[in-house]
């Protein structure tokens, strides 16, 4: 019936695992909860020892293989024909989370989305929350790899692109590849709460990594025309057409550093606008390397 597939890396989350077990058992499902740890630090994976018995199955990797490859490995190791992929840092508040998926599985791929808590965090974690709450959680029409259900035979046709090893836009590639292959996708309101907020510095590090990853993806997956699908690359392309992208070279490093310091040290409600400007400057900077 159902294999719940969880890629795990350096985050302890016993409540997620316990909630999934409780919901599946209440529905009398044939299921497994498969966790593959991608070479976490010892103190961040020790708690998984308590989940090394049925219905759980834990696999420990000695070497980190990356975000795409670990999801492909989860599918390979899964024993049931229906796969539910969940990130390890999520929180489930819907008591009918599993039931909602099973009752609404009418396409090849169904994604449930991500949400952020209504309560504002402290200043040091505001940047991630503000972007997630006001931007990311509102874009549920796009595929997100943190929370989706798919038939195993469909996943085996599609798979994640293993050339993409680092963080950023791997879910965009997956979604566009699905569209290219004629695989049907939809999104429903079955959100997982983002339980792990990065501090402002960590969040911007992720932004930088994602932009670098995006440039690599555009290069290796040119046929998908990702440059026209992702907001930041589409905006940059528009500036290029107008001959205005060269303006981003003027005092680029100084402006980028100034925006970075402002976002880290003094994030405010308008941080998402500043973040968009920062991304344009950083994207230009990385593109010229």
- DSSP run (H or E) holding 5: strand 2-8
pLDDT above 90: percentage of residues in the chain = 91
**Cα separation values, 156 from 25, 159, 178, 213, 234, Å:** 27, 6, 12, 24, 31
Contact yes or no for 200/267 (Cβ under 8 A): yes
Domain 2-197: assigned CATH number: 3.90.550.10
% residues pLDDT > 70 (the chain): 99
- Rounded to an integer, what distance in angstroms lies between the CA atom of residue 199 and that of residue 124? 5
Joined together, the tokens standing for residue 275 give: 């973040």
Instruction: Convert the pLDDT of each residue in 202-256 to its tens digit.
Output: 999 999 999 999 999 999 998 899 999 999 999 999 999 999 999 999 999 999 9
- Closest C-alpha to 4, from 96, 71, 65: 71
Find the DSSP H helices in the chain. Answer: 14-26, 42-45, 67-77, 97-103, 126-134, 152-158, 170-180, 200-220, 231-241, 252-265, 271-287
Write out the DSSP string of 89-147. TEE---TTHHHHHHHT--SSEEE--EE--SS---GGGHHHHHHHHHTGGG-TTS--TTE
Residue 142's pLDDT band (cuts 50, 70, 90): confident
Domain ranges of the chain: 2-197, 203-287
Tens of pLDDT, residues 108-117: 999 999 999 9
DSSP state of 222: G
In the structure, what pLDDT confidence band is assigned to residue 166 with cuts at 50, 70 and 90? confident
Dihedral class, residue 159 (left if φ above 0, else alpha if ψ from -120 to 50, else beta): left
d(CA 146, CA 140): 12
| Calpha distance 82→228 (Å, rounded) | 32
- 84's enclosing H/E stretch is strand 82-86
Which pTM was predicted?
A: 0.94
Residue 139, pLDDT score: 75
């Amino acid at each position: 019936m159902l294999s719940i597939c969880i890629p795990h890396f350096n985050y302890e989350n016993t409540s997620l695992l316990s909630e999934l077990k409780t919901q599946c058992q209440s529905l009398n499902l044939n299921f497994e909860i498969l966790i593959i740890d991608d070479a976490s630090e010892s103190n961040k994976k020790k708690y998984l020892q308590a989940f090394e018995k049925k219905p759980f199955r834990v696999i420990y990797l000695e070497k980190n293989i990356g975000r795409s490859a670990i999801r492909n490995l989860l599918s390979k190791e899964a024993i049931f024909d229906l796969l539910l992929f969940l990130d390890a840092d999520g929180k489930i508040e819907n008591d009918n989370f599993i039931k909602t998926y099973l009752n609404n599985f009418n396409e090849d791929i169904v994604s449930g989305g991500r949400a952020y808590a209504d309560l504002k965090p402290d200043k040091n974690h505001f940047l991630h929350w503000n972007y997630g709450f006001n931007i990311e959680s509102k874009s549920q029409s796009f595929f997100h790899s943190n929370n989706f259900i798919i038939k195993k035979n469909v996943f085996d046709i599609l798979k994640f692109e293993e050339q993409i090893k680092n963080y950023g836009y791997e879910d965009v590639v997956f979604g566009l590849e699905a569209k290219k292959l004629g695989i049907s996708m939809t999104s429903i309101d079955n959100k997982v709460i983002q339980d792990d907020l990065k501090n402002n510095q960590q969040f911007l590090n992720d932004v930088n990594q994602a932009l670098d990853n995006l440039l690599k993806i555009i290069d290796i997956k040119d046929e998908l025309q990702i440059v026209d699908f992702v907001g930041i690359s589409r905006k940059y392309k528009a500036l290029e057409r107008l001959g205005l992208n060269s303006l981003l070279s003027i005092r680029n490093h100084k402006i980028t550093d100034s925006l970075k310091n402002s976002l880290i040290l003094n994030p405010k409600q308008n941080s998402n606008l500043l973040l968009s400007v920062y991304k344009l400057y950083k994207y230009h900077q990385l593109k010229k390397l």
